[in-house]
């Protein structure tokens, strides 16, 4: 009878151990499955970010940059027309031919011509694109090297219009965020390059 109890006890222990092993095995399997799922998830996220990056580059190449060129042509024609009109007025009133608009009038005319040339549409496109960039939905190392100089140059050249457009209702938050971030990065790279050039020159003098 005691042997029967002993066997039953051994079976119970064995069953318990099997359950424990199975439990541990289940945990290991779950962890392995989770890690694979996490890797797959990261891979899917990286793939989506690459797609977004390619789309941003496509928008710059096929839409934004060509539109900048078209707006610039319209702007130049409108500004020249405004200048010639004012030049004629001054000539008729004062009998002299001016070469430049007065500073305040020049600034006002430039802003007016930029608005009429529809630069606003470009800033609207940039705000949408910059939303992807500032929210980390693209791969910065893919997008930044190709378009940062165009983006920074455009925003700097038309900062009067950007400041005029920036209001509580249309803050262009993402444009400002990316502009500040990329300017800092560009300045840092320029300084590092200058330091590298100086170090090379110093090394040659040793």
Mean pLDDT of 171-193: 95
Q: Residue 187's closest CA among 154, 151, 149, 157?
A: 149
Residue 116 near residue 78 (C-beta atoms within 8 A): yes
What is residue 76's predicted lDDT score, i.e. its pLDDT? 97
Is the confidence at residue 68, as pLDDT, over 50? yes
What is residue 167's predicted lDDT score, i.e. its pLDDT? 83
Calpha distance 112→79 (Å, rounded): 9
43, 47, 53, 54: CA torsion to nearest 10:
150
Is the confidence at residue 196, as pLDDT, over 80? yes
| pLDDT confidence bin for 200, thresholds 50/70/90 | confident
163, 123, 177, 48: CA torsion to nearest 10:
170
| pLDDT confidence bin for 157, thresholds 50/70/90 | very high
| Angle 105-179-172 from CA coordinates, rounded to 5° | 70
| pLDDT confidence bin for 14, thresholds 50/70/90 | very low
Q: Residue 165's closest CA among 107, 104, 109, 114?
A: 114
What is residue 204's predicted lDDT score, i.e. its pLDDT? 82
Number of H helices, E strands in the chain: 7, 0
Mean pLDDT of 155-179: 93
What is residue 40's predicted lDDT score, i.e. its pLDDT? 67
pLDDT digits (tens, 9 = 90+) for 105-147: 999 999 999 999 999 999 999 999 999 999 999 999 999 999 9
Please compute, for residue 154, the number of CA atoms within 13 A of its CA located in the half-sphere on the CB side.
Answer: 25
Lowest-confidence segment of 65-69, 157-161, 178-182, 191-195 by average pLDDT: 191-195
For 101, the 3-state DSSP assignment is: coil
Q: Residue 144's closest CA among 194, 193, 191, 186?
A: 186
Mean pLDDT of 97-111: 94
pLDDT digits (tens, 9 = 90+) for 20-56: 444 444 444 444 554 555 576 788 888 999 999 999 9
């Amino acid at each position: 009878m005691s042997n029967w109890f002993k066997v039953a006890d051994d079976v119970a222990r064995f069953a318990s151990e099997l359950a424990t092993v199975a439990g541990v095995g289940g945990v290991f399997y779950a962890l392995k499955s989770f890690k694979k799922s996490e890797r797959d998830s990261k891979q899917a996220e990286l793939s989506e970010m690459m797609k977004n990056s390619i789309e941003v580059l496509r928008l710059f190449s096929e839409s934004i940059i060509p539109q900048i060129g078209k707006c610039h042509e319209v702007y130049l024609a409108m500004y020249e027309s405004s200048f010639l009109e004012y030049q004629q007025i001054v000539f008729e009133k004062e009998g002299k031919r001016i070469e430049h608009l007065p500073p305040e009038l020049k600034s006002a005319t430039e802003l007016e011509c930029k608005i009429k040339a529809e630069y606003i549409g470009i800033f609207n496109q940039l705000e949408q694109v910059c939303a992807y960039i500032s929210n980390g939905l693209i791969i910065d190392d893919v997008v930044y090297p190709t378009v940062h100089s165009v983006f920074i140059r455009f925003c700097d050249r038309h900062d009067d219009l950007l400041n005029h457009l920036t209001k509580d209702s249309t803050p262009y938050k993402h444009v400002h965020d990316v502009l500040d971030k990329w300017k800092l990065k560009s300045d840092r790279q320029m300084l590092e390059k200058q330091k590298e050039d100086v170090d090379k020159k110093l090394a040659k003098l040793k």
